[in-house]
Chain A
Amino acid sequence: MEQLSNELRNFIVENFLFGQSSDFSDNDSFLKTRIIDSTGVVELISWVEESYGIRVEDDEIVPDNLDSINKLSRFIERKTCVSR
């Protein structure tokens, strides 16, 4: 879980904060902290699909699954368990 969180954090810092590490926590909402915008969500999803070999269904694109590092890593864990 911790490794997964770190991977996600690295991707986000690299792609949305342009490499500038920021002090956002694993629970911070991407929406509220404005780290990711609507086109960013699309990028994030395609990266998650590619990196973790999962498919994110349309009805899974909701804040509960994707809107913080913790939510996202729980979601990926759940999905990878199912597909195994």
Chain B
Amino acid sequence: MQLEQFLEASASKYPEKVALVFEEERWTYSQIDRACNRLAHAFLKAGIQRGDRVVICLPNCVEAVLAVFATLKANAVFVFVNHSTKADKLTYILNNCRAVALVTWDSKLKELSGMDDGIPYTRAVFGVGAAETCSEECQRLGKTLTLVDAAVAAQGCDRPPEKRCIDLDLAALIYTSGSTGRPKGVMLSHLNMVSVATSITTYLENTADDVVVNVLPLSFDYGLYQVLMMFKVGGRVVLEQSFNYPFQLVKRLIEEEVTGLPIVPTVSALLLQLDLSKYSFPRLRYITNTAAALPTRHIKDLRRLFPRTKIYSMYGLTECKRVSYLPPDQIDVRPTSVGRGMPNEEVYIVDDAGQTVGPGVVGELVIRGSNVMKGYWELPEETEKVLKPGPFPGERVLYSGDLFRSDEEGYLYFVGRRDDIIKTRGEKVSPREVEDVIYGMDGIAEVVVIGVPDPVLGNAIKAVVSLRPGATVTDKDILNRCREKLEDFMIPKLVSFEPSLPKTQSGKISKRMIPAAK
């Protein structure tokens, strides 16, 4: 089975049912399917072939959903990039995966056309927003432009293009932060993604009656899967642009009779600041949390505010999407556990020699299942470090890089990461990537980027800087540079200056010796 068949099956089963709500717009399954078919034909017309990569860089909006499914229908591979990605990193990704097409909106095109580095592989742009700006910028870039609106309005291409893929073909590349600083493309096949969606919808007991509100960006696999899974079961997605206005979410929960609410701890921190005692949410069947552990305090408060709602604590990584979930009846028994492997998946903990360890012993978590990625795009060495031989000859299993222990009954507890990746707002940030940007400024002698505990963000990003003699760089200068170069969630919340940074005996900057609380 292929991923786009989620949409196609639901469109034939529930053609007139509203599948997607965004701001004032309501789209039925048949409307979405038809729009995706038309956009897919426009992709084919632009020369997109089986296995080609299409980069989608858009905020949460209807066009973003259409672009994902149209890419799949065109037998191509979608690469969803966070819309706050700056032009130089976007250029890197476009060139790294040799994307033949880019779907983005007017102001991002403006940013791109101001870049010195070209995007030679990308021939076609599919534009969203002001037609005139899109057209001017594409002229400057020397790319052909198709407006997504126009492609969707074009009549006569309502049938889906011929299917040429099998389920071993790639459906998506998801770029994830690596400790080396350069993002890596996680290769996911149709089989990977269909398996994951099947396992998760099984344990969440999703049905066509479900309505999920999604405030998470579609560039984040947790957000993307909300759409994939609702389309799979014939449910409805209420898509929000962001989580900037917490009460907006409360309104949506009530108005749209939402049954499923996926969150990260930052969302619950902001939601719990509101006085929700005067509202009730009788339809809300479940809340899911992943990306970072929910503080026990949040779990208690959520249980009090949503007494009839099941709370699923979960854990995962992009390389296999989801690893585990805690059955909701266990949340009061073992609130700090992230549960056990999901259906059709096996997980175990190994020591440094690769031997399985017993309860209570800390080791690396290993994942075995159809959900495990095919590897990192064109990075065989990096791939070999995480995909290692499994129980059967020729089989490969995923080494998560995360340290875990289990209890006597096999429930998993997260202990820490093997590398220094920071989790903030549920997003992974490579300290190296932020440090590289700050090192690019004049006057910087040394910089180290660390995560410091924060009640809302989980971890706040902190840059500790030492300046060259006579340099007059201020914290605002540093933040401005980060704002120019980095995605929003990577911009440090705190900057501090030190005369020099503590070193280990070998002369490397020691993160452990940095005073975090300053």
Using CB atoms and an 8 Å cutoff, list the residues of chain A in contact with chain B: 17-20, 30-32, 34, 36-42, 58-63, 66-67
What residue in chain B is nearest A14 (Cβ atoms)?
A: B476
* CB-CB nearest in chain A for B477: A18
Interface size, B (range): 20 to 34
Does B243 have its Cβ within 8 Å of any Cβ on chain A? yes
Report chain A residues within 8 Å CB of B83: 34
Cβ of B246: which chain A residues have Cβ within 8 Å of it? 38, 41, 58, 61
Q: Which residues of A contact B276 (CB under 8 A)?
A: 58
- 8 Å CB contacts to A: which residues of B314-328? none
Contacts of A18 on B, CB cut-off 8 Å?
476, 479-480, 483
| Chain B 229-271 per-residue mask, 1 if CB under 8 angstroms from chain A, else 0 | 0000000000001111111101100000000000000100010
The listed residue with most A CB atoms (<10 A of its CB), out of B84, B241, B247, is B247
Q: Is the CB of B245 within 8 A of A42?
A: no
Supposing A20-B480, A31-B242 touch, asked if A37 and B488 sit within 8 A by C-beta, the answer is yes
Q: Can you list 27 A-B contacts with CB-CB less than 8 angstroms, sorted by A residue number?
A: A18-B476, A18-B479, A18-B480, A19-B476, A31-B242, A34-B83, A34-B488, A36-B244, A37-B242, A39-B266, A39-B270, A40-B244, A41-B244, A41-B246, A42-B456, A58-B247, A58-B250, A58-B274, A58-B276, A59-B250, A61-B247, A61-B248, A61-B274, A62-B247, A66-B245, A67-B244, A67-B245
Asked whether A31 and B244 contact (CB < 8 A) given A17-B483, A18-B479, A38-B266, the answer is yes
- Beyond A18-B476, A34-B488, A38-B244: 18 further Cβ-contacts under 8 Å? A19-B476, A19-B480, A34-B84, A36-B244, A37-B488, A38-B242, A38-B243, A41-B245, A41-B246, A58-B250, A58-B275, A59-B250, A60-B247, A62-B248, A63-B248, A66-B245, A67-B244, A67-B245
- Chain B residues closer than 8 Å to A59, beta-carbon distance: 247, 250-251
Complex Cα–Cα for A18 and B486 (A):
15
Residue from the list B84, B241, B275 in contact with A31, Cβ < 8 A? B241
Nearest-neighbor residue (CB-CB) of B457 within chain A: A39
- Enumerate the 3 nearest inter-chain pairs by beta-carbon distance, A residue then B residue, closest first: A61-B247, A58-B274, A18-B479
